[in-house]
Each structure stands twice: as structure tokens, then as C-alpha cells.
Amino acid sequence: MRERNLAAAAVLFALALPVAGQDLLDASQAFRTSARRIGADVIEVRYDTAPGYYLYRDRLEFKLQPESARLGAPKLPPGKVKEDEFFGRSVIYRNRTIVQLPITAMDNSTVTLTADLQGCADIGVCYPPVRRTFVLAAPSKAR
């Protein structure tokens, strides 16, 4: 079912571009994403979503490498409920959204975070899923 929804959103995005008659931002501009380690055991992911765009909470996914590193449950902000024409009743994020990810890195080493997202523009155009990858060094120890 999820694959069908994602495929439908990608098709709607492709079809709506010429119809919309408005300039759409590239996904990298509409959904600016950054990540940093704010301690040995927490990664902070920040989404700065452009005005007129929104992210779906249930389309945010995170993975961590190497396998020796463990990712805890993301701490997601509440968001707002939207009756969405593509995905039904959904929780969305606008503007700045900060997600904290608890991690356990066995040797406090560098980790690679993969962050997936999907969002739409208010004009009714949805973007296909986007994947961002961040290589995050262990925080330096104060001496």
C-alpha cells in the first residue's frame, strides 16, 4: 500500500508541474535539511521548510550506520493535522522542525545517518520521496 501511495504521489508531481503554472522550488530548497550530533548520544535533524510547503510526519524515516550503532525512537514534535487530498488525514510540519534521534555508538565513532522525507506544496503538488545522507563525526571531548 505504501509503495502505491508513493508511486501515485510521484505521478501526481510529474503531471502537475506544467498544469500548476507556478514555479516550484527544487526539493533541496523546499525542504532544507541538516543534521548534527549534539552529544555522544543524540543527533539533531533540522528541517527548514519553505513557506507554502509542508512535510508529512509519517514519511520521515531514519537509518544509522554502521551496524554497531543503534538508533532509538525519534522524538518528533506534535505537528498539525491536515486533511490531505493525496494521503488522507495526515500530520504535517511547516517552517522549522527539529527532530532528536537518540543513538548508541559503541565506540563513539563517526556514524552515517540516512534521513528520508516526503512533502508537498500548498498548490497541490507532491514531491517524490527524498533521501539525504549525513556523515556525522563523534563530538570532540573537551580537554
Domains of the chain (ranges, CATH numbers): 2-136 (2.60.40.1250)
pLDDT at residue 16, as a whole number: 45
Rounded Cα distance between 134 and 18, Å, is 33
pLDDT tens for the chain, 143 residues long, are 445 454 444 444 444 444 445 689 999 999 999 999 998 899 999 999 999 999 999 999 999 999 888 999 999 999 999 987 777 899 999 999 999 999 987 666 889 999 999 999 999 899 999 999 999 998 776 54
Write out 18-75 in H/E/C secondary structure. HHHCCCCCCHHHHEEEEEEEEECCEEEEEEEECCCEEEEHHHCEEEEECCCEEECCCE
CB 136 within 8 A of CB 46: no
33-36: list long-range contacts, CB under 8 Å, 24+ apart. Answer: 33/115, 33/117, 33/132, 34/134, 35/113, 35/115, 35/132, 35/134, 35/136, 36/136
Q: pTM (2 decimals)?
A: 0.81
Rounded Cα distance between 136 and 66, Å, is 12
pLDDT at residue 109, as a whole number: 80
pLDDT at residue 121, as a whole number: 95
Q: Residue 86's Cα: distance from chain center in Å?
A: 18
Rounded Cα distance between 27 and 120, Å, is 9
